[in-house]
Chains A and B, each alone.
Chain A
């Protein structure tokens, strides 16, 4: 029997050093790829830090602090901690709340009363930006939307109407006419509001209004609600020419009796007249 070397075994022996090198290279490559992939995944999945305003413009923050000290400090305290029986703490209320309260003129308040009414805004838009940045810096909270104006109107006002009737109608009436609450408070009329005002009101829950987080009403749902509100307020829902207050059968019945009946009496008299 001749002993011939097994070609396979010989081959293995011959190429072993090369294979080891290959394996090392492949290992290094795989490790590098895994690291790159993990890094990429991390970058994709880890959200932006919640306190993104930490790098807000320091001059803006200083300006905001100045405005805060001039207009808000009496009721909300030197460190935004609130003052007993005057004003609540502002830590964590977010820039959405500041924008809503100041741009509708509710804050600064004229006096302590059941509810701060809206009035012409006391702060300039640039001052509002500064003071919102300053307050948002302390504790974060609901943010202002990225879009403004018409871009905040969703494309499905019908769904917005369903959501409005489920969540908002009890206080604001089903076409946004407003209504009474307890002890002098009221759900305000929604006429003539900017889209951003409606959005920030839902997101921040001003005064006694419940807060609607983005997980309860998604941003798209909020935009549909805005589209619905804008489609029924500001005289957009008055096919008869005059809304008569928009309160339904009471004023309409009264007008029907007074105007309609008087008209019928007049016509009857004309029919009976000689000429």
Chain B
């Protein structure tokens, strides 16, 4: 079947009857106007099935009630949502067996408000769809469609129209405008791109620590001879709890953070010391018979204090927290990629993708106060490798 005859056919479809005059239009009924509109677009309504040809049957009433029920349910459950949202006990109550009732009521809060609001919008949707299915007449309409490209005459004229608009605008010979427009729009595009991506560009050396940002940690002494204590985190940043050698049992491990006496009343500094990504240190107390087999790294022979060894918690592979310390095997496991470090051999990697040992923090006990202090920063950068790193 060639496209040409069909094309002619569709073109001709609207011309079967001429467009009625204004006088004729005013005479036409609404039904005739609907048919005329369809015919002008090449649409013919074949069947216009009325779902309820006999009015007022019991089945029709039943359908009406069904739709009304869904809308009513939507309203009631929205009302229930408002009630639960305003009056239900939403504050946390722990599940202690004594007053478990409070916890039970609290635990229902989220499901109740979610369920009621969700049921409400679902019921509105079901009601609308049911109404459409039960009461809107199902029409069957036929519209002719044409195959292939538009007629040659349409394509030629449309192309000529566009070319004409281009040449009449005289943009072709106005080089100044063309270039400035290119400059303006192009630079604007660049600005939008910079706006979108600029926030992702960061200078790792640009912070207040300058070039030392990646090589030093908050354990770095600000002045020579400064005392940097080891503190534990009790959940309260202001509660300073320092660590003494008798605090940990053999086979114990504790995460510690730097603390300086000058920061005691500086909330910002206290929070930063605990939240800083490179600050957490695992303070490990080996069991004495294991400590007898320790192999120390060259140059780090005096970094430990007795059975106490302090290693960074930041994995040397990709910087995950390696705090899975196994006290019988003395292995430190990183949960991200299963690197394992041997706490008896300066935390050198014994399994997995990590290639460098965990950096060790030099510690000792402050003779004046009896608390642990760090005698200096880590001897090497903590965490994963970066371009400028030499080891």
Contact = CB atoms under 8 A, between A and B. Distances in A.
A180 B338 CA distance: 10
Contact of B328 (A158, A163, A207, A241): A207
A180 B336 CA distance: 11
A241 B232 contact: no
Contacts of B169: none
A239 B113 CA distance: 12
A213 B283 CA distance: 14
Contact of A210 (B235, B236, B327): B327
A210 B325 contact: yes
A273 B138 CA distance: 12
Interface stretch (A34-42, A100-108, A166-174): A166-174
A132 B324 CA distance: 29
Contact of B133 (A162, A212, A239, A275): A275
Nearest to A241: B111
A53 interface: no
A205 B235 contact: no
15 contacts: A88-B328, A153-B96, A163-B234, A171-B324, A182-B329, A182-B333, A185-B326, A210-B251, A210-B252, A210-B253, A211-B249, A215-B248, A241-B111, A270-B129, A273-B133
Contact of B329 (A171, A208, A212, A270): A208
A150 interface: yes
Nearest to A154: B94
A3 interface: no
Nearest to B97: A150
Given A170-B323, A182-B329, A271-B129, A215 B246 contact: yes
B360 interface: no
A209 interface: yes
B328 A213 contact: no
Closest 6 CB pairs of A and B: A162-B235, A208-B326, A213-B249, A211-B249, A215-B247, A170-B323
A131 interface: no
A205 B253 CA distance: 10
Given A170-B335, A182-B329, A239-B107, A211 B233 contact: no
Interface in B308-325: 321, 323-325
Instruction: Name which of A207, A209, A210 has the most chain B CB atoms within 10 A of its CB.
Output: A210
A166 B95 contact: no
B233 A212 contact: no
Interface in B238-260: 244, 246-255
A128 interface: no
B73 to A, nearest CB: 17
A209 B254 CA distance: 12
B10 interface: no
Interface in A198-229: 205, 207-213, 215-216, 221, 227
Interface of B: 94-98, 103, 107, 109-111, 129, 133, 138, 232-236, 244, 246-255, 321, 323-329, 331, 333, 335, 338, 340, 351
A216 B335 contact: no
Interface residues of A, number: 43
Contacts of B236: 159
B246 A166 contact: no
A216 B235 contact: no
Nearest to B232: A216
Contact of A231 (B94, B129, B254): B94
Given A181-B333, A215-B247, A230-B95, A166 B327 contact: no
Nearest to B284: A210
Given A182-B331, A205-B252, A211-B250, A157 B324 contact: no
A245 interface: no
A254 to B, nearest CB: 20
A224 B20 CA distance: 87
A212 B249 contact: yes
Nearest to B333: A182
B326 A150 contact: no
A212 B235 contact: no
B253 A157 contact: no
A231 B95 contact: yes
B234 A205 contact: no
Contacts of A181: 324, 326, 333
Contact of A182 (B109, B235, B326): B326
Contacts of B96: 150, 153, 227, 230
A141 B283 CA distance: 22
B239 to A, nearest CB: 10
Contacts of B327: 205, 208-211
Contacts of A213: 247-249, 252
A230 B96 CA distance: 8
